[in-house]
Structures are given as C-alpha cells and as structure tokens.
Amino acid sequence: MKHRMNRQMIWVALLGVALVSTPAYAFEGWGENGKDGKGKFHQKREAMMKKMTADLGLTEAQQKQIEDQHASMKQRQEEIFKGIETKRSELRAELDKPELDRARIDQLTNELSAFSAQKVKNRVEGILEIRTILTPEQFKQLHQKMEEKREAFKAKWKNHGRKHHQEEQETEQPSN
C-alpha cells in the first residue's frame, strides 16, 4: 500500500512539472503554416513586435539588439526544454520499472526542478537585458502596455470556468 501511494505521489509530481513546462515548449509549432511557412503564433508575434517597435519608437540599433537578445534567449530555452524532455523520459522509465530506485527518482526530480529554476532565471535575465537596451521611458511604456495586456487577459478569462459551469447547469435543468 505504501509503495503504491509513493508511486502515485511521484506521478502527481511529474504531472505537475509537465503541466508547468509544456505550454511554453508547445508554442514553437502553434497554428497552421502561413504563406511564409510560419505558424499563426509567429505571425501574430511579428505583427505585435512591429506595432511595439512603432509605439516605443525603437531605433534600428535597438531593434537589432532585441532581435539578437530574443534569438539568444530562444536558444537557451530550447536547451532547457530538451533537458526537461530527456529527464522526463528517464523519470517515466524509472517509474515504470518493477523495482523502484528511490535515490534515482529523487535525483531525476531534483534535476527537473533545477531546469524549472533555470527557466525562471533565464526569463529574469531576458527582462534585465531588455532594460539595458531600452531607455527608461521606453521601458516604462513597455511595462504599461504589458500590464494592460495582462489585465485584458485576466478580464477575458476571469469567469470562463464559472460561465461554462452555469451553462451546463442551465442545460441540465428539466423544463416544466
């Protein structure tokens, strides 16, 4: 019984790691291919970058620095995601063995946690790099725009689950 509960707890932890890290990795291939071979996600991102470039009044030098920073960040993130996938596979294989090696499982979960921490560090490093590229006023404008987008997103999805639940209840009620 205890062995089964430990195994279940490990699977729950693994699922949690998978849910946290998979969405960011999945963005790479989002959407159908457009005329230039890039998905809708990439097309929307490029349009957003053009608008942000105009709104912030970025110089050509700033644009180039941001493009370079993005490419560098993307490469670092891809390395982390590859490491996560490798460790997940190793952990799955370890959990599927008839005899569990708790030390190896703990080692793999610690390595997965280290990758998650590295993702956060890279994100913060990216923000710091952008701050060095933009003027203080440009960064303030960027921050305001991002906050507006965040609030709009929250408002859009705030009652999403409740709304769906209410619709289900309404359709389940018998009519007189």
Per residue in 91-108, pLDDT tens? 999 999 999 999 999 999
Averaged pLDDT of the chain: 78
The 3-state secondary structure of the chain reads CHHHHHHHHHHHHHHHHHHHHHHHHHHHHCCCECCCCCEHHHHHHHHHHHHHHHHHCCCHHHHHHHHHHHHHHHHHHHHHHHHHHHHHHHHHHHHHCCCCCHHHHHHHHHHHHHHHHHHHHHHHHHHHHHHHHCCHHHHHHHHHHHHHHHHHHHHHHCCHHHHHHHHHHHHHCCCC
Domain boundaries defined on the chain: 2-134, 136-169
Give the model's confidence band at 39: pLDDT under 50 very low, under 70 low, under 90 confident, else very high: confident
